[in-house]
Each structure stands twice: as C-alpha cells, then as structure tokens.
C-alpha cells in the first residue's frame, strides 16, 4: 500500500489538497499551484498536489456537495488545503458553498480565520496620504460559531405572519480560544520585524479537543519548524526597532448584550494573562469608522464570525481590494485551509482577467504554515514586485491578463 501519510505524520511529502471550486476559483488556483511549484522545486521541498472537483458543476450533475468521507480524508491524509472560491448563479441557494466551505471550516474545526491586510504598494490604498507604513494589520475572525452555525428556522414560512430566526451561538470555549490565539500572536510577533509570509504564527493555547490522529499513525519526523504548531517558535526579534503589537477586541456588547457579555468577560480574564500587550476594546461600528480614519492604530483585531467577515472586506479594500486579500482557516497543528478572501466573481469568470494575487498570497500563508518561510517570502515578494512594476490585471488598473501575471510570478519565484 502506498504511503499516503502527510509529511507531518512521517509521510514522504507534504500533501496539499487543491479545491479550485467555481468561477474565478478555477482560474486563480492553478496559478497559485504553478507559483508554489516554482518556488519549491529548486529547494527540494517534496510536495504532492491532489485536486478535488467539488463545486457547483458536481453539485448540479451528481447532487453531491461535500462527499462522504471528505472531512476524514483531508484531516488524516493532507497537510493543508488550497481553496479557490465557491458560488454559482445556477445555485441561488448557495447550498453547495455552505456544505463545502462552511462545512470544512466547521468540521475540521478551523477556528482561526486569519485575514492579514497589508498595503504592499502605496498607490493601491484609496485613503489619501496613507502609505505602506499605515496599513499592516491582522484580523482574527472566529470561524466555527456565531451566526454562521445555521441555528434557527422559519415559522409560518410564506405567509404574511412569517417569522425567520437566525441564532448567534457563542460558546465560552470558542470565544476563549480565538481571543487567546490573538494574544499569543501579539506576544510572538512584533512591529518592525520582517514576518516572512503573512500567516499567523504561534499559538500556545489550543483549548480544543485532542488531535484526532492516533499516536500510532504519527511518524517519527514532524515538520519543523512549523510555527503554527510550535508554541516556542517566535518571529519576534530583540531588534530595538521592534515594537509590541497592539490588540483590539471588537463586539457589539452595547446592543447584543448576552453574547457581548460573554466576549467582554472572556476578554477581561484572558488579557490579564498578557499584561505586556497593549489591548483595548472597540464597538464594531466604531472600529469600522476608526479603520478608515486612521488604520495605523491597529495591529491585531479579534472579533466574531460575522463582524470578522465584514471588517475583513473593509480592511482588504484599504490595501487595494479583494483581488489582493488572502486568508487562512487554521487549527494550529491540524490540516488547515488557505484561500483568497474573494468569491467566484461570476461577473468576470471565464474572461481570463481574474487577479491571482489573493490566491498567491494565500499560498504564501500556506507555505508559512508548513514552516517553509523562505519559499513563503518568495511568493509574497513576487506579488510585491508585480505591483511595483504594474504587472497587474484590470481590477488593479493594469492591462495584463491572468496568464501574463502568472508568467511573471513564476519567473520571479523560480530563480
């Protein structure tokens, strides 16, 4: 029987599951794979990509969204997942996207949605007089509960007396682990230091259930150093230029008093364990306003699932838009999923003009998650160079098509 174990359990190579999905997901994901291959091949990084055709076509053809056994397969036999986007006008309910994307976030228990916003070139921010120095922050979005759980239902649906209920579920454990992750990240990183890729680093505080892989299946040689799994790896340096990261927890506890009360109490108790971290609270509406007024005051934002979804799109736009925004859906130490923040963009799908930078930056996060920091940095640098030289698609004001940008990125990463 072939050895199908991923590298972290002693298998022969890092195994990456690739799920391009729908629309421009199918156009940008192959570019990301090409660029990862270019950056890793010369450095003798053993990688295996396995593609899965989950998405609207399969759903419409076979009525299958997330196939049976998919979660176990990804959890046990892959190190990471590279994901494109889901969403198709032929599936107005978006059911397949809920099953696949939210299904994987929930069932793999990927409780950290890390969405870095970094302005990579001054000319891409819509804010007057802001530069790359002002916009460099990380949104940590809770990713396994909140209003996304799907608790609720209809009463008297379709009648004039219809009622629709959507519950906001917040567990003590869920709130604590995301807040703690944000504080650990603050403790282990600092401003003014070069963070190789853009993934979150270490968390020393995994309060989730034990790793599902039995010890008997673990190989002797775990990936190292793998910052997301190793609480002792720190990218903070003792350089005098380095400043501690500031943290902002955001909620709507003045109106949503039950959930807000829990977030407030957990925040208070966790922050007491991190006295060296400058932390504060803002209501989510004020945070939205402050982000636009003065983004330079933020390093780390931690918030719930819905607010994190919204605020991360706002933040993405400050740094050039959705085409440039990456994200990581992470459970430290387990198979994690990396994707651009954008969707399937049906309005431009099939035209060959999709911007692949978000997918490539998400791949940079994936490589950092594997502990391959040099390769991760190479991907990020290739995007920076493309921006500096205006090798960009029309959404960023450029004249290039997707494959021309891809060729450039590959040429930059394969040296």
Residues 196, 118: Cα–Cα separation, whole Å: 13
* Residue 18 or 28 with smaller CB distance to ligand NAD: 28
Minimum separation from the CB atom of position 165 to ligand IPM (A): 19
Minimum separation from the CB atom of position 182 to ligand IPM (A): 18
Residues numbered 103 to 132 that lie near Mn ion (CB under 5 A) are none
Minimum separation from the CB atom of position 291 to ligand IPM (A): 17
Residues 204, 207: Cα–Cα separation, whole Å: 9
Residue 309 contacts ligand IPM per CB under 6 A: yes
Residue 269 C-beta-side C-alpha neighbours within 13 Å: 9
DSSP per residue over 206-233, as a string? --SPPPSS-GGG--S---SS-TTT-TT-
Residue 344 contacts ligand NAD per CB under 6 A: yes
Q: Which residue has the tokens 């594997």?
A: 370
* Residue 222 or 343 with smaller CB distance to ligand IPM: 343
* Residue 105 or 189 with smaller CB distance to ligand NAD: 105
Distances 293 to 116, 139, 297, 325, 388 between C-alpha atoms, Å:
19, 17, 10, 20, 26
Q: Is the peptide bond before 114 cis (omega within 30 degrees of 0)?
A: no
Longest dimension (CA), the chain: 66
* Residue 259 or 337 with smaller CB distance to ligand IPM: 337
Site size with ligand IPM, rule: CB under 6 A: 4
Which among ligand IPM, Mn ion, ligand NAD, none contacts residue 136 (Cβ within 5 to 8 A by kind)?
none
Minimum separation from the CB atom of position 353 to ligand NAD (A): 7
For 190-212, give the secondary structure using H, E and C. Answer: EECCCCCCCCCCCCCCCCCCCCC
Minimum separation from the CB atom of position 278 to ligand IPM (A): 28
Question: Judged by CB under 6 A, which of 82, 97, 138, 245 binds ligand IPM?
Answer: 97
Residue 22 contacts ligand IPM per CB under 6 A: no
Residue 20 contacts ligand NAD per CB under 6 A: no
In 321-372, alpha helices (H): 357-369
Cβ contacts of 248 within 8 Å, gap of 6 or more? 279, 280, 281, 282, 287, 298, 300, 301, 302
Residue 124 C-beta-side C-alpha neighbours within 13 Å: 30
* Residue 314 or 410 with smaller CB distance to ligand IPM: 314
Residues numbered 79 to 108 that lie near ligand NAD (CB under 6 A) are 85-87, 94, 97, 101
Residues numbered 244 to 263 that lie near ligand IPM (CB under 6 A) are none
Residues numbered 300 to 329 that lie near Mn ion (CB under 5 A) are 309
**Other Cβ atoms within 10 Å of 154 Cβ, number:** 11
Residue 395 contacts ligand NAD per CB under 6 A: yes
Q: At what angle do helices 25-41 and 402-413 cross, to 10 degrees?
A: 20
Residue 398 contacts ligand NAD per CB under 6 A: no
Which among ligand NAD, Mn ion, ligand IPM, none contacts residue 395 (Cβ within 5 to 8 A by kind)?
ligand NAD
Residue 348 contacts ligand NAD per CB under 6 A: yes
Residue nearest to Mn ion (CB): 309
Q: What sign for the dihedral angle of Cα 190, 194, 200, 202?
A: negative
Collapsed DSSP state (helix, strand, coil) of residue 389 = coil
- Chain residues binding ligand IPM by CB under 6 A are 97, 309, 341, 343
- Chain residues binding Mn ion by CB under 5 A are 309
- Chain residues binding ligand NAD by CB under 6 A are 24, 28, 85-87, 94, 97, 101, 322-323, 339, 342-348, 354-355, 358, 393, 395
């Amino acid at each position: 029987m072939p050895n199908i174990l991923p590298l972290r359990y002693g298998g022969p190579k890092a195994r990456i599951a690739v799920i391009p999905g729908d629309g421009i997901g199918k156009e940008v994901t192959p570019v990301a794979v090409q660029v990862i291959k270019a950056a890793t091949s010369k450095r003798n990084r053993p990688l295996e990509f396995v593609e899965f055709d989950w998405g609207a076509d399969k759903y419409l053809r076979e009525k299958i969204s997330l196939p049976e056994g998919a979660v176990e397969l990804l959890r046990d036999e892959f190190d990471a997942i590279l994901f494109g986007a889901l969403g198709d006008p032929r599936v107005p309910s978006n059911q397949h996207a809920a099953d696949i994307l939210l299904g994987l976030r929930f069932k793999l228990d990927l409780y950290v949605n890390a969405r870095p916003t970094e302005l990579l070139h001054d000319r891409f921010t819509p804010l007057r007089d802001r530069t790359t120095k002002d916009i460099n922050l990380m949104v940590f979005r809770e990713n396994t509960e909140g209003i996304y759980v799907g608790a609720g239902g209809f009463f008297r649906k379709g009648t004039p007396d219809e009622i629709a209920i959507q519950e906001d579920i917040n567990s003590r454990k869920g709130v604590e682990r995301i807040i703690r992750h944000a504080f650990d990240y603050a403790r282990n990183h600092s401003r003014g230091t070069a963070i190789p890729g853009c993934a979150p680093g270490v968390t020393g505080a995994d309060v989730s259930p034990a790793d599902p892989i039995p010890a008997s299946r673990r190989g002797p040689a775990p990936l190292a150093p793998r910052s997301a799994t190793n609480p002792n790896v720190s990218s903070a340096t003792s350089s005098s230029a380095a400043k501690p990261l500031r943290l902002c927890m955001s909620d709507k506890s003045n109106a949503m008093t039950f959930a807000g009360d829990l977030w407030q109490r957990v925040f208070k108790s966790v922050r007491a364990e991190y006295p060296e971290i400058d932390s504060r609270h803002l209501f989510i509406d004020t945070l939205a306003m402050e982000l636009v007024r003065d983004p330079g005051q933020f390093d780390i934002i931690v918030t719930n699932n819905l607010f994190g979804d919204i605020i991360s799109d706002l933040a993405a736009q400050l740094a050039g838009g959705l085409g440039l925004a990456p994200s990581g859906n992470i459970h430290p130490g387990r198979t994690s999923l990396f994707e651009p923040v954008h969707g399937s963009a049906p309005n431009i799908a099939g035209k060959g003009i999709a911007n692949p930078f978000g997918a490539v930056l998400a791949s940079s996060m994936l490589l950092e998650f594997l502990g391959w920091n040099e390769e991760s940095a190479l991907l990020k640098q290739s995007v920076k160079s493309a921006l500096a030289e205006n090798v960009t698609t029309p959404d960023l004001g450029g004249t290039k098509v997707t494959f021309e940008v891809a060729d450039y990125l590959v040429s930059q990463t394969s040296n």
